[in-house]
Amino acid sequence: MLEIRKKHSLIKTLFLTILELIYPEEDICFICDTYDDSIDEENICLKCKENLRFISDNKCSICGKPLQSDAVIKKCYNCKKHPYYFSKAVAALEYEGIIKEVIYKYKYGNKPYIYKALGALLVQAIRESDININDIDIIVPVPLHRFKIIKRGFNQSELLAKYISDAFNIPISVKNLIRSKMTVRQNNLDRLNRRSNIKRAFKIKKKDDFIGKNIILVDDIFTTGITADECSKELVQAGARDIIVVTLATGKSN
């Protein structure tokens, strides 16, 4: 009987998730939940947009983090010390203020439809960056372990990746790069333990699909870059030509 109840609860959760993806209310700001019939399809009110901290031009040329000073060499300390498998990272926002609450609500508050507002911010960031979108062959989201997808009901990075895929008419791959190792949350770990935690966590099923491809790798947050780098490592070793990481938000540089 307990097993039947668990299955019923899972089915109910998945059903509600699908409903919220398809039928979110119109004219509501997905950040502050304010109703206003002037809110457009981005679903972000003017007040909330003004409170978002968009990334300026003063950023690291590799990881995309805001730099502390307007240095001549646009490269942060971490990128000088720790080379990555991806060529560069682009983020829409600084990971502070209201965006922290929004991302948490998106991932853990059973509000998957928020991807529509966040996806629009990502598309805007890509268009304003130096990414040559015509050179991109495929979009790949950072995968979640299957147990986390069952618990949450969706992969937040996959929904963002699909939004980008639809906006630019670029194919998306969601089942080739997989997370085969269950890991603990990275935000509670230091850099060394983050690297150990995520090591060998990802696998590629069909490597031929990525040979010679220019790839946009999509995630929600860029902090140390270790998760994105581990995914990029697998893609590069599978034969990918270039990896550009695109995230909604990024932390400050050191």
126-136 pLDDT tens trace:
999 999 999 99
Average pLDDT over every residue of 103-121: 91
Among residues 160, 237, 159, the alpha carbon closest in space to that of 204 is found at 237
Mean pLDDT over the full length of the chain: 85
Domains of the chain as residue ranges with CATH: 54-250 (3.40.50.2020)
Per DSSP, 10 falls in state H
Amino acid 239: pLDDT? 97
Question: In this prediction, what percent of the chain has a pLDDT beyond 70?
Answer: 82
Tokens of 81: 């010390």
Amino acid 9: pLDDT? 57
> What is the layout of strands, in order, in the sheet containing 88-94?
88-94, 242-250, 214-222, 138-141
Burial zone of 32 (CB within 10 Å; 0-12 exposed, 13-18 middle, 19+ buried): middle
Tens of pLDDT, residue by residue over 148-179, are 888 888 999 999 999 999 999 999 999 999 99
CA angle 205, 206, 210 (to 5 degrees): 120
Q: Are 249 and 92 in contact (CB under 8 A)?
A: yes
**Most confidently modeled of 80-84, 102-106, 181-185, 214-218?**
214-218
pTM of the model: 0.86
Tens of pLDDT, residue by residue over 2-28, are 454 455 556 556 655 665 555 566 778
What is the residue type of 248?
L
CA angle 52, 56, 60 (to 5 degrees): 125
Instruction: Cite the DSSP H helix spans in the chain.
Output: 2-22, 46-51, 77-81, 98-108, 115-128, 146-152, 156-168, 191-198, 226-237
Amino acid 1: pLDDT? 45
Residue 185 burial (CB count, 10 A): 8
Three-state SS for 115-171 is HHHHHHHHHHHHHHCCCCHHHCCEEEECCCCHHHHHHHCCCHHHHHHHHHHHHHCCC
Tens of pLDDT, residue by residue over 30-73, are 888 888 777 777 888 888 989 999 998 889 999 999 987 766 67
